[in-house]
Amino acid sequence: MIEKVKEGNIFHAILVVILLLGVQTSFAQMDESAVGAIRTVVIDAGHGGKDPGCHGASAQEKHVCLSMALQLGEMIKKKFPEIKVIYTRDKDVFVELNERAKIANRNNADLFICIHANAASAQAYGTETYVLGLHRTESQQKVAERENSIIHLEDDGGAKYKDFDMSPDAIIARQIQLSVFLDQSISFASKLQSEFKYIGRFDRGVKQAGFLVLYKTTMPSVLIETGFLTNPKEEKFLSSPATQKLMAESMFTAFRKYKNELEGVEEEVERPTIPSNLSEEIAEEKPEVVATKNDVVFRVQVETSESKISLTSSRFKGYKVFEYNQSGLYKYTIGSHVNDYSSANELKNKLREKGFQHAFVVAFVSGERINLQKAIKLAEN
């Protein structure tokens, strides 16, 4: 058994070396003047036609994505007329996943931007941007599986993908093969998340998962999940023409910063102006959600005391607090995040900046505090 494991490790080491040598050779053959310049951008509006994608009470992912994709493309064309902008679709039509990647590859695109909307519980919110890689949580895996599942709507029912290898080893090999592009993808994804956060969107981070459409492309590529249509407030945000424009402007700002970075241009990039009448739609504070019996509620603990403290005490700095008793001590928490550890952790960081230096996240099920790591796993499922 040990000998077989060793043989497997040797095989993987040889594979890595071969792939790295191949990448070095291919890049050495490239004209240095071509590296870093952006000449062609392919923008992919997710879903379309017979594939509506996810939906809320009325909004459909295919329409929301197309609106933002077209606006982003027009912004790039207007500012940089020398850049060729190609859409995988510019109307409500169905395009196979394989073809979306082929469009980018055929046109030797320098950047592939895939725009989607997300689906989860009615409480989930925020934006996240993906690059190709191995999922690290079950929720990331579910996002990839949902987006990949549209292959069953293709004419052959997805038969062309039957022998397609999306195993962890294959994805790692692909990452190594395109390692330079992966670094650039992460750079662009980080800039996108930064700009979304600037306009008030909750930052769910840069993540990795095995998206077919990203696996097939041979250039820096990202997949943006702009928000959750299954959350009524998020649906309202993503359905509004004004906020769709704001999201597209944020993507464009990130694109300009990424382009400048690649091309060594020093420029102060102006960020979009947030209209005052949109403050309600993009506010960071979220309405408290009533948890059901099996939900995990994450809160941020800020105070522990042997005696009761008034809930309106000045030491809570005006925040609404929740009191619970454990081991004879009175403990006080802020916030209520149902099945959403990320937002609770974000609140923890915010509260530390506000002076609650020892704030930390705690979790409850049916009013009883439970182990945090166990709670995170329960929430992901």
Per-residue pLDDT of the chain (381 residues; tens, 9 = 90+): 333 333 444 434 433 333 444 444 344 333 433 444 799 999 999 999 999 999 999 999 999 999 999 999 999 999 999 999 999 999 999 998 889 989 999 999 999 999 999 998 888 889 999 998 654 445 444 444 544 455 445 555 555 445 555 556 555 555 555 566 888 999 999 999 999 999 888 899 999 876 776 777 889 999 999 999 998 889 999 999 999 999 999 999 999 999 999 999 999 999 998 776 664 445 444 444 555 677 899 999 999 999 999 887 878 877 888 999 998 999 999 988 888 899 899 999 989 988 899 999 999 998 889 999 999 988 876
The answer to the question of residue 219 being in a domain is: yes
Calculate the CA 261 to chain-centre distance.
22
Of 61, 37, 36, 31, nearest in space to 49 by CA = 61
Q: Which tokens go with 255?
A: 């694109």
pLDDT of residue 164: 52
Question: 23 with 47: CB under 8 angstroms?
Answer: no
Question: 165 with 263: CB under 8 angstroms?
Answer: no
Residues 6+ apart with CB under 8 A from 156: none
pLDDT of residue 218: 85
Task: State the DSSP code for 335.
Answer: E
CA separation for the pair 101, 354 (Å, rounded): 46
pLDDT of residue 121: 83
CA separation for the pair 160, 278 (Å, rounded): 45
93 and 233, same domain (yes or no):
yes
Q: Which tokens go with 361?
A: 């996240």
pLDDT of residue 367: 86
Question: 14 with 6: CB under 8 angstroms?
Answer: no
244 and 304, same domain (yes or no):
no
112 and 186, same domain (yes or no):
yes
Question: 249 with 139: CB under 8 angstroms?
Answer: no
| Separation in Å, CA 225 to CA 32, 54, 106, 281, 381 | 34, 11, 25, 18, 20
pLDDT of residue 311: 85
| Separation in Å, CA 146 to CA 65, 93, 206 | 16, 19, 18
Q: Which tokens go with 145?
A: 């599986």
The answer to the question of residue 20 being in a domain is: no
Q: Considering its fold, how many domains does the chain have in total?
A: 2
* Structural domain boundaries, residue 206: 31-278
91 and 217, same domain (yes or no):
yes
Question: 298 with 363: CB under 8 angstroms?
Answer: yes
The answer to the question of residue 318 being in a domain is: yes
Q: Dihedral, CA atoms, 349, 355, 357, 361, nearest 10 degrees?
A: -40
Category of 63 on φ-ψ map: left (φ > 0), alpha (ψ -120 to 50) or beta: alpha
140 and 227, same domain (yes or no):
yes
Which of 252, 278, 304 is at the close of a domain? 278
CATH number, residue 329: 3.30.70.1070
48 and 178, same domain (yes or no):
yes
Partners of 44 in beta bridges? 114
CA separation for the pair 79, 181 (Å, rounded): 24
pLDDT of residue 143: 40
The answer to the question of residue 9 being in a domain is: no
Question: 38 with 111: CB under 8 angstroms?
Answer: yes
187 and 326, same domain (yes or no):
no
Q: Sheet containing 203-209: which strands, arranged edge to edge?
A: 84-87, 40-45, 111-118, 221-228, 127-132, 203-209
Burial letters for 90-102: b for 16+ Cβ neighbours within 10 Å, e otherwise? eeeebbbbbebbe
CA separation for the pair 9, 67 (Å, rounded): 48
Which of 225, 251, 278 is at the close of a domain? 278
274 and 362, same domain (yes or no):
no
Instruction: State the burial class of residue 367 (Cβ atoms within 10 Å of its Cβ: 0-12, 13-18, 19+).
Output: exposed
CATH number, residue 215: 3.40.630.40
